[in-house]
Amino acid sequence: LGMMTTGSLYGLVEWTDRTQWTKRIGMVAHYLLYLGVVVLGPILWSDRPWYVGATCSILHLAGAGLLFAFFSQINHLNEQSLESATDKLPTALRNSWVAHQILSSNNFCPSSPLWHVFSNGLNLQIEHHLFPGLNHCHLALIQPEVERTCREWGVEYRSYGSWGELMEETMRWLERLSREEEEEEKPSKKKEKTEKKEVPDESETTKDTAVEQEKKKEKTEKKKETTKKRKVADDAETKNDTVVEPKDDNPDEEGKRGRKKRRKRNRRRRGKSQSGTRTEQSQRVEKSKEKNDKGQTKEKNDKGQ
């Protein structure tokens, strides 16, 4: 469809003779016959159920796509073909279409009749690109001459000994591409993280403010609890010195009781202080008597001597 509508295949290959009405009619007829016979034919014109014909059409399309990928795409999708060094070519061939076709293609098992038939001549991809109008049955005949000409002009002619070697090169190239994409994604992810940190979302800011408010409430509650505990401890210490009595309804009676208690306390304190002074005076008197007695005994002894 892309070739018929735009006149080119993905912008790489142009349909040069599309102005000829015979070519255009042939292209449209080929497309319609393919859809009618291969895709819709097993579904519409078969005695079996429709899903059997649909599976046959799907298997045909899937098999054709896999064969095309395994025998055509691997001849181009590798590092040697996609990153071929044109600087190594002679100056006269750097802009040559033929040289670029050879460098961007690969062969495998060129002398094997089995792979030639099984791949429909795509094992000779270089010759197929150089002579696209030549039937694939004759590609094996011109292959030795093409290889000799490439060596003569200094153009690299790549030919692998087996299909597995060429498949390994393709898988290495795909692995390299995946690693490059991962390395490119890493700095972009880092930038996104830094941008998120610099410009926080409103939801995150609201969450942060709510959390901070909760923390502040917890701190204030803890402070209140500690102050209450301290007050209780202070009250317990004061209870040793003071006695808390139940309050009465009449404030006058409470005042009288408080006064009486104060008077009693003062009397007790005075009695204690007076008793302490009396004991001190008696001790002084006794000490003075002892001194006098000692002095009198000394005098008697001196006189007796």
Q: What number is the average pLDDT over the span 16-26? A: 83
Which range has the top average pLDDT, 45-59, 71-85, 252-266? 45-59
Q: How far apart are CA 69 and CA 80, in angstroms?
A: 18
Which pLDDT band, with edges at 50, 70 and 90, does 237 fall under?
low
Mean pLDDT across the chain, nearest whole number? 77
Does the pLDDT value for residue 142 go beyond 90? yes
pLDDT digits (tens, 9 = 90+) for 244-277: 444 444 555 556 666 777 777 777 776 655 555 5
Q: Given this model, what pLDDT does residue 139 score? A: 93
Provide, rounded to the nearest whole percent, the portion of the chain with pLDDT above 70. 70
**Tokens standing for residue 55:** 């599976």
At 144, is the pLDDT very low, low, confident or very high (cuts 50, 70, 90)? very high
Look at residue 107 and give its three-state secondary structure. strand
What DSSP line would sit under 14-49, residue for residue? E-TTTTSHHHHHHHHHHHHHIIIIIIIHHHHS-SS-
In this predicted model, what pLDDT tens digit does every residue of 124-135 receive, in sequence order? 999 999 998 889
Distances (CA, A) of 54 to 49, 61, 241, 245: 9, 11, 104, 102
Mean pLDDT, rounded, for 87-99: 80
